Structure 1
Amino acid sequence: MARSNDRDRGSRRGPKERDNRRGGKKKICIFCKDHTDWVDYKDVNLLRRFMSDRGKIRARRVTGNCA
């Protein structure tokens, strides 16, 4: 009896369907959009958008901010 490879066990989608997983709207940095020169670290309401509920800073790919 022939054993199947690991490649055969994965998803049954074709190569074209695998590429379309990432889609949607590109996130734009709000600081660049508003032409902000500096960020006030005391502005809690603004910075709260970029923090998790546990107080961790969210990743750039999640928030859409630039470096």
Structure 2
Amino acid sequence: MTADRDRCVASGQCALIAPDVFDQREEDGLVVVLDHAPPPERHAEVEQAVHICPAQALALGTA
């Protein structure tokens, strides 16, 4: 799981959909990945968060 903060627009959709995997920085709202290798039971919500990200700042796998 990777997140590109340069692309992030701080919409927060990822943190709403998968709060155990994503959060937002307090100072600017940019994405923070809490779990770079979420367990299988989180995969569906992570995939949804990646798909819904308006800035396409999230990617499955590693950089």
User: TM-score, normalised to structure 1's length?
Assistant: 0.26
Higher relative contact order (CA 8 A, sep 6+): 2
Larger Rg: 1
Identify the structure with the greater strand proportion: 2
